[in-house]
């Protein structure tokens, strides 16, 4: 599993030739408050039942509020055979504070 901060992830996503799947593992109320464009919500508690909805052959970027739930989700996905998993260090909070100050904080 790779770890990337917001700036590093933003640059990596911009440079990628194939699209990554952005997986947000927060709760629905958190996702409604703020999210990265193109991200897909699967709350952490639902991930074991819904991991089959994701493509294990694509790069998967896992996002949560501060990076703790996403770290757990990323480890789970790797255990399930996902080939390339990236954890957003600092989560959506770090993204909002460093890259997108218009994004809601909570």
Active site residue 80: no
Give residues with Cβ within 8 angstroms of 79, minimum separation 6: none
Structure tokens at 79: 């255990």
Q: Which of 64, 73, 74, 92 is catalytic?
A: 64
Q: Helix axis angle, 6-15 relative to 91-98, nearest 10°?
A: 80
Distances (CA, A) of 14 to 8, 18, 46, 67, 87: 10, 10, 29, 21, 17
Q: What are the residue numbers of the active site? A: 64
């Amino acid at each position: 599993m790779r770890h990337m901060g917001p700036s590093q992830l933003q640059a990596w996503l911009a440079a990628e030739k194939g699209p990554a799947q952005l997986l947000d593992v927060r709760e629905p109320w958190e996702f409604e408050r703020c999210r990265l464009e193109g991200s897909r919500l699967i709350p952490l508690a639902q991930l074991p039942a819904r991991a089959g909805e994701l493509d294990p052959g694509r790069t998967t970027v896992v996002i949560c509020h501060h990076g703790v739930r996403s770290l757990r989700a990323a480890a789970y996905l790797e255990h399930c055979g996902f080939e390339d998993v990236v954890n957003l260090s600092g989560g959506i909070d770090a993204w909002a504070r460093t890259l997108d100050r218009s994004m809601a904080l909570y």
